[in-house]
Amino acid sequence: MKDHTCRVLKNRHISGRLYLLELSCPGMETPKAGQFLMLKVSKSLDPMGRRAFAVADLREDRLLIFYDVYGRGTYLLSQVREGESLEVFGPLGKGLFNKDGEKHLLIGGGVGLAGLTLLAKELRSEGKRVFIAYGGRTKEHLGMEEWLKEEGFEYELFTEDGSLGRKGKVVEVLKDFDSSWIVHACGPKAMLKALQRIEGYRIYLSLESRMACGWGVCLGCVVKERNGSYVRVCYEGPVFDANRVEL
């Protein structure tokens, strides 16, 4: 892992709060599914810290990041123009997905789907069966559907208000799959906690957390394990067995 100066190829609005950032990062080690990058979103010291983003896809010499604009950091990132450069540290994260098994169900909530899409491509390249359940509050929260169509994955959409796809919460998809499927999930904490309450499945969670450093030094992203100790999302994670951590 090291710092890279990456050129912005695209940075465009998709829908709702969702944006797609495409970068060219010559010399960067190829990120693996589950890993993330720490981006310096401004040339100034405002904000001081970097922001963590999942690596959503790799296409030839392009690296894709989907992100929601929520605070000042992501707003500033949304203002970066094509041809400009960003300082990027990574790839980071040592705890990655378990790709054992032949059938994999990926459950993404909102922009959390971006934490699973590179996994979907890796699994497919290994000849595994992949099904993706993608959920959000409304259809505006499902802006990554175009990526799913382009890549040709089997998928089902869920919205809580019924404005697109199946009405209900995305975790309800488990009713349609038996325990022979390995489950991987990334999304809001409430969604991940709901999955932890479901028994009989092997479930892996990709956690999102506020990070200052991204490589285990600041201890700002720790979560508690069920044995009472603590682990760092950025270093021991970001992917954990659902039975290992308390959310």
Q: Which residues are annotated as a binding site?
A: 73-74, 213, 218, 221, 234
- Residue pair 26/64 in contact by the 8 Å Cβ criterion: no
CA distance 185 to 191: 9
Give SS3 for 152.
coil
CA distance 33 to 236: 15
Exposed, middle or buried: residue 148 (CB in 10 Å: 0-12, 13-18, 19+)?
buried
Residue positions in the annotated binding site for [2Fe-2S] cluster? 213, 218, 221, 234
What angle is formed at CA 123 by the lines to CA 120 and CA 124, rounded to 5 degrees? 85
Give SS3 for 169.
coil
Residue positions in the annotated binding site for FAD? 73-74
Q: How many CB atoms lie within 10 A of CB 222?
A: 17
